[in-house]
Structure 1
Amino acid sequence: MLTEKWLVGSSRWTVKNIFEIFVLWRLFLLLIALVVPVFFELQDNFIGGGRQLYIQNPLFWGHVNFDGEHYLAIAQRSYRDLEYFYFPGYPLLVKSITQLISSSVTVYAVVGLLISHLSFFLTLVGFYKLVKLDFKENVAKWSLIALLVFPTSFYFASFYTESIFLMLVIWSFYFARKKMYLFSGLLGAFASATRLVGVVLLPALFWDKTKLFKKVSLVVVPTGLIIYILYLNKVTGDPLEFLHSVEIFGSQRSSTLILLPQVFYRYIFKILPSLDYSYFPVILTTFLEFSVASVFSALTVLTFFRLRPSYAIYTTLAFLIPTFSGSFSSLPRYVLVLFPAFILFGRWLSTCRKFSRIVFIAGSALLLTVAFGLFFRGFWIS
């Protein structure tokens, strides 16, 4: 049972306990998926598998909506024009496994979702162990809870890169903390082949007191990105095609550098005042973007005072890089991989008053319910 005593008690969590809370989170998402058709109509422009497959099995294909469709297509038949924005690590892994089994699109989707679910469970195990290196039991527990109830945590159960990327980041940091730099570097290399911000592991992991020569194996971290750049140069003639094509994913995004204060200015004086306040999904998405940007800007600053320098470096760079496109679009999803911010949430939840804790958890869970419900029915969230 998920009770207050179980969450904040002094007993250690085992892998079994972490699996139990993972299953509870997944059942919560399933419940949302079952009831949401009553509240939201289906938008079928970007649903997983296309309308026919989605209608046949929405509980499955609803996890492959939007970017999931792109990753699934890349896994099936490699890249086509306008898809180079999506890094190859995740779809390549899906393809490598699925080719041994079947060429069916359904099997591709099953393999991808299994990878996402397994990766997220391993993320939770690694996150718990990593937090325990610096903090008490309660902080580790509440850090996991904060991550699970975050409004966009449903992407961890989707055909997206969030699960596998965060798993690679967490365990890369963990092995670095244990002075196992070869393992750390190899995981970092795969992370940089999975998401652009994976490359920030290099400066973050180098920042500790260990002598430089002992960390030399960390130089392999950018290898994944470098290989992708070489591939793009060969097939498109533009080694940075993943940056130059960013504008096609939204009119707010730009391939030129735009600084964070400029993005806030855009939202405060241009985007928010011009919203269509009669259309709830757009209102929710836009205010979620702005709120997440504001909260995580503050948390990023706090990491320099409350957490290890390596965590602060990782959080700062991984937070800022997506905003340089000039938009907070997708930021509520991108911040899922900023694990140090969730450690700060965990520290606060472990010491705050019970009423504050209930309000935080209930509010986050409510937003998760609405956001996942909309996503599941084909509305853009992040």
Structure 2
Amino acid sequence: MKKFWENNKKIIKFVFLVFLVWTTIVNLLDLVSTFTFISRRGDFNYAEKVILNPPFFWKRANFDGIHYLDIARKGYGVNQWGFFPLYPKIIKGLTPNFAGRDLLAGLFVSHLSLFLLLFIFYKLILLDFDHKIAQRTLLFLMFFPTSFFFGFVYTESLVLLFILGSFYAARKGNWLMAGILGALAANTRLIGIFLFPALIYEWWQQKKISNFKFQISNLFIFLVPLGLLSYMRFLKINFQDPLIFIRSGGKIVLLYQVFFRYLKMILTTKFDPLYFTVWLEFLAVAGFILLLIKSYLIKIRMSYLVFSVLTLLIPTLIGTFSSLPRYVLVLFPCFICLGMVKSAKARVIIQAIFILSAIFSVLLFFNGNWVA
């Protein structure tokens, strides 16, 4: 333990400071959220479902969050199949330790996952870059407009922890751990399955560089799909349809059609919180497409980009960018790309835009408005 601390104390101190500042800011914004100019969309709509939990935290389980708590308590109900099972299972397992307060259990999981993912992300970046880029990257991630979801009853922090851990293990040649963490990611969110082609590419890239021979341990990559397959088996047994979680998405819509749809909304939607959300969704997709292109040009590791391209583009096929400002939080190569920006002035401008948008976004969410 002492050796671990000596080797990682610089990273741990920085991560703890960022985590502490971020958590403090979110809590302060929660305290002042009712005194802002932002209109409230009614009170928290699910009070009867979180009555055992401290009221101060109720809003952190709004929208998707309440579904995870519902699944943790009662199992799957109608139209809840899109919420993958691992996160609510962990909440259910930890709830007795919080005297039945499942919301607190969910917040504990999210915050612990956030701290760990920041540490792993820092270590992953150091495999290719220096401490300065690692620190800048983490700051861009933590002050991104929708980063507040990392600390709420949402899966963002848990799934990103598994994703980063899987890549880090693969980079270190620990394919068993990479496969296990990949399977956990695929059991937490559908995007976890995109680790499968990404890790295959990573294996091929390492083989090409070092010319090492194929080993049985490389087959552990095939553990990744088991996370999704186990959920599909559960759906087949209980709902007679292993693909029920994607069948409700409707017909496939091409990306350019979605962009045209959003341009029309931007020109016709009245100025209110929804207008901000439309812009946020549009700019998130457009901006991260550009960042992925830039990441490719500056030669950020290709396996990271394989995962990220699939994660960004597949959700757009349902014809909307809804929730994508939240989904892009897992596109970690894009944040590395931002961390590599050389101009200090450009970094300050980008970070200022992020912070102002983040403050407005979290205030919207605390007041019952849909953000992502």
TM over 0.5: yes
Q: Does 1:190 align with 2:181?
A: no
What does residue 352 of structure 1 align with? 343
What does residue 31 of structure 1 align with? 28
What does residue 210 of structure 2 align with? none
Distance in structure 2 (CA, Å) of the matches to 1:58 and 1:137: 40
Q: 1:368 to 1:33 in 2, by over 3 A?
A: same
Q: CA deviation at 1:58?
A: 4.5
Q: Does 1:144 align with 2:141?
A: no
Deviations 1:63-95 (A, max 9, x none): 111100111100111101111011111001111
Distance in structure 1 (CA, Å) of the matches to 2:370 and 2:43: 10
Q: 1:243 to 1:75 in 2, by over 3 A?
A: same
Where do residues 1-382 of structure 1 align in structure 2 (5 Å cutoff)? 13-39=10-36, 40-44=38-42, 47=45, 49-50=47-48, 53=51, 57-99=54-96, 102=99, 104=100, 107-207=101-201, 208-210=205-207, 211-213=213-215, 214-246=217-249, 255-268=250-263, 270-277=264-271, 280-306=272-298, 307-348=300-341, 351-353=342-344, 355-382=345-372
Secondary structure of 1:146's aligned partner: helix
Q: 5+ residue gaps in structure 1?
A: 1-10, 247-254
Q: 1:24 to 1:179 in 2, by over 3 A?
A: same
Which one is further off, 122-131 or 295-304?
Answer: 295-304
Distance in structure 2 (CA, Å) of the matches to 1:155 and 1:359: 23
Give the letter aligned to residue 266 of structure 1: R
What does residue 5 of structure 2 align with? none
Q: CA deviation at 1:261?
A: 1.5
Contact 1:181–1:217 (CA under 8 A) maintained in structure 2: yes
Give the letter aligned to residue 21 of structure 1: V
Give the letter aligned to residue 370 of structure 2: W
Q: 1:344 to 1:12 in 2, by over 3 A?
A: farther
Deviations 1:250-281 (A, max 9, x none): xxxxx22222122112112x32233122xx21
Distance in structure 1 (CA, Å) of the matches to 2:157 and 2:315: 18
Deviations 1:144-179 (A, max 9, x none): 000010000000010000000000001110000000
Deviations 1:10-53 (A, max 9, x none): x9833122111110011011111111211134323764545995
Deviations 1:220-268 (A, max 9, x none): 001110011111112222211111234xxxxxxxx22222122112112
Contact 1:256–1:325 (CA under 8 A) maintained in structure 2: yes
Distance in structure 1 (CA, Å) of the matches to 2:304 and 2:59: 34
Deviations 1:324-362 (A, max 9, x none): 1110000000000111111001111xx213x32222222
Identity level (%)? 39
What TM-score, normalized to structure 2?
0.90
Contact 2:50–2:58 (CA under 8 A) maintained in structure 1: no
Which one is further off, 280-289 or 357-366?
Answer: 357-366
The number of residue pairs the alignment matches comes to 354
Deviations 1:166-222 (A, max 9, x none): 000011100000000101100000100111110010110111223443421010001
Q: 5+ residue gaps in structure 2?
A: 1-7, 208-212
Q: CA deviation at 1:99?
A: 4.7
Contact 2:44–2:58 (CA under 8 A) maintained in structure 1: no
What does residue 4 of structure 1 align with? none
Which one is further off, 283-292 or 44-53?
Answer: 44-53
Distance in structure 1 (CA, Å) of the matches to 2:347 and 2:336: 15
Q: 1:46 to 1:199 in 2, by over 3 A?
A: farther
What does residue 8 of structure 1 align with? none
Distance in structure 2 (CA, Å) of the matches to 1:34 and 1:374: 13
Q: 1:81 to 1:297 in 2, by over 3 A?
A: same
Q: 1:345 to 1:48 in 2, by over 3 A?
A: farther
| CA RMSD across the alignment | 2.0
Distance in structure 2 (CA, Å) of the matches to 1:58 and 1:101: 15
Which one is further off, 92-101 or 130-139?
Answer: 92-101
Q: Which consecutive aligned stretches of 4+ in structure 1 deviate over 6 angstroms post-superposition?
A: none
Contact 2:98–2:105 (CA under 8 A) maintained in structure 1: no
